[in-house]
Amino acid sequence: MTEHTLTVAGVAVDTRHWIGGERVASAETFTDVSPIDGSVLGEISRGTEVEVDAAVAAAKAAFPAWAATSRAERARILHAVADGVEKRIEDLAIVETTDNGALLRSHRRGVMPRVAHNFRFFADWLLELDHEDFETRGHTNHVSWDPAGPSVLITPWNAPLMLSTWKVAPALAAGNTVVLKPAEWTPLTASLLADIAAEAGLPAGVLNIVQGYGSEIGDALTSHPDVRRISFTGSVPTAQRITQSAAVNLTPLSLELGGKSPLLVFADADLDLAVDLAVEQYDNAGQVCLAATRILVEETVAEEFTRRFAEKAAAIVQGDPRDEATDIGPNIHERQLEKIDGFVRRAVDAGARAVIGGHRGEGQYYAPTLLADVAQDSEIVQEEVFGPILTLQTFTTEDEAVQLANDTRFGLAATLATGDRERAARVTERLVAGTVWVNCFFVRDLQAPFGGSRHSGVGREGGTWSFDFYCDLKNTVTAPKGWKNHG
């Protein structure tokens, strides 16, 4: 091991940036701490404008050659990256669990295989990307997707590698070069991704990774004149700052922001299914942007729903995420835990009743909580908590259910439990959300559009929508005459 390497459960992780195909150290560092037990994992290179400029310069220099690389060759390299991910699933899983506290079993069986799938899907989609030519008064229109240039990707801590590669894979497939800025609370698997990409043959400078605090390097990244695309997943206030910064150069943005999504439970629903869907919202300790944190239940079944919910939630095992028996791990950071607890305490002070939970556990764990007797205009109903906190409200009519569901500034997702197909069609048509699930939750296909409405985001990614964002769309119109024969 060197001074720039730390070891997590036997896995060596380089703590330096990855710029232009080389490891680059900074003069200063920041401390990475595991949320599982508060242990210090190591000191990570802390980026400045110097590293940002170097990374963007490397991406700019590598762009012409990568953009000119054939679709088939780009796809081949992305499949090689996916192969590398699959070979290191166990390493990636244990490092990410240690770094962000999510369940090890989920990382092994679902999250890391999805990381590999991100690369394979967009590699394959690239090879099929096409638009049928069409004619206008005898002229032929041909639509093409041109690589846009260096792309800055800023990613969150709740699913670090999966959400990073959800952006990295289509950006690279599109022919763009990348500067990735991982969340400062969870930087480690991004560093491993750099190693995997290099081993897969990704040319130097095509993928660059700069670590550090958004407050220190965010503006340098998003206002850089050589950056052609910015994709960000995170909070509304940060997105507002990014938008202002990007406006200087009119840099196109894709923003996936917060949510305050509803789960509507009608009296005609399968109540056991509805309860299962509601309890599922505690997944990843409630640190899921798509989580349906507002449970809206038809009044006639609310009492029975609440009873069954409390019984089901009582069986949740909270503890060390490395244990196969654990259902919920810790929250990411002491600062986040204090934020969660503040939301709950203010809600209780305002009259809310804790049906279950409502308190901190030991360390960085917060008890799964359901708050009833909450007002629609209260903070706990209107603002994203990002913890294992759900609220319970009742409605009496379909119109009231829709009105309550849409009555926030967000519009990321919605979940609906009903036994009536006609009602499902009526209600989903009226819900303001980027994704609506009916009698299910978290079923996602990479070819579907993903994003939010209102303050939950700007734009859509997924399938062709990702290429529409990461590319400059071109329409070439060709006349039917004017050609000369050249033998």
| Separation CA 333–CA 34 (nearest Å) | 8
The three-state DSSP-derived secondary structure of the chain is CCCCEEEECCEEEECCEEECCEEECCCCEEEEECCCCCCEEEEEECCCHHHHHHHHHHHHHHHHHHHHCCHHHHHHHHHHHHHHHHHCHHHHHHHHHHHHCCCHHHHHHHHHHHHHHHHHHHHHHHHHCCCCCEEECCEEEEEEEEECCCEEEECCCCCHHHHHHHHHHHHHHCCCCEEEECCCCCCHHHHHHHHHHHHCCCCCCCEEECCCCHHHHHHHHHCCCCCCEEEEECCHHHHHHHHHHHHCCCCCEEEECCCCCEEEECCCCCHHHHHHHHHHHHHHHHCCCCCCCEEEEEHHHHHHHHHHHHHHHHCCCECCCCCCCCCECCCCCHHHHHHHHHHHHHHHHCCCEEEECCCECCCCCECCEEEECCCCCCHHHHCCCCCCEEEEEEECCHHHHHHHHHCCCCCCEEEEECCCHHHHHHHHHHCCCCEEEECCCCCCCCCCCECCCHHHEECCECHHHHHHHHEEEEEEEECCCCCCCCC
Closest by CA position to 160, among listed 209, 125, 221: 209
Backbone angles phi, psi at 230, to 5 degrees: -135, 125
Beta-carbon count within 10 A of 134 CB: 11
Structure tokens at 486: 């050249």
Contact 295, 393 (CB under 8 A): yes
Beta-carbon-side half-sphere exposure of residue 332 (alpha carbons within 13 Å): 24
Question: Catalytic residue at 289?
Answer: yes
**Angle in degrees, 0-180, between the axes of helices 112-128 and 463-470, rounded to the nearest 10:** 70
Which residue among 289, 384, 461, 471 is the active-site one?
Answer: 289
Could you identify the residue written with the tokens 């340098």? 220
Alpha carbon distance 348, 144 (integer Å): 56
Question: Which listed residue (51, 184, 256, 461) is catalytic?
Answer: 256
What amino acid positions are annotated as catalytic residues? 256, 289
